[in-house]
Structure 1
Amino acid sequence: MKLDISADDLEAMLDAWRQSADLASAMTDQFRIMMMANRRQILENLLQTGSGWQQLLRCARPVTPDDDAEYQRIRTSLDVFVAWAAAELDLLDQLRDADA
């Protein structure tokens, strides 16, 4: 089986998810409030989704040696995204613990 995953499209998707979670995208005030109220669950879902993509790519190999740079770029982008989501969840935990 061969897959053709666009690194540009994947990175755009990850960036859009991150911007939405960070409230950096244009959205209505009502939607912004909903995003803030559900930030933990949203980040947990993004972490799970990013981890799923990582798992998929651990099973994949570049079709040709010329594809290796793009393959590594995708894996690095996912690693950065998953680390960001995990760090944001850790920050929420720290804030919660500071209030306790």
Structure 2
Amino acid sequence: MADASLPDAASPVRHPDGYYWIAPDGHNEFGPFATAAEALADMNAGGDETPEPGETLQEAEQELGLADWVDADTGELAEATGMRLEDH
């Protein structure tokens, strides 16, 4: 049974300085917003870091400009500018 004293996660919470929305984990509040509608809109907007439905890890890495492969010698992402030549 849900605790009736706690706010509904889908409902904004009113504080003296404005409205806030609560993260699904119940630990973080985001705001203040001037109206409850603005708080709800922000909560439902999602961030730029949210993956698009069906987006693969490779597509997300390409959007961030990460290299396609890991350097076997160093274990780090390969340089995007070209091949690494070793000094002899």
User: Structure 1 length as normaliser, TM-score?
Assistant: 0.23
User: Structure 2 length as normaliser, TM-score?
Assistant: 0.25
The structure number with the bigger radius of gyration is 2
**Higher share of residues assigned helix:** 1
RCO comparison, higher one (Cα < 8 Å, 6+)? 1
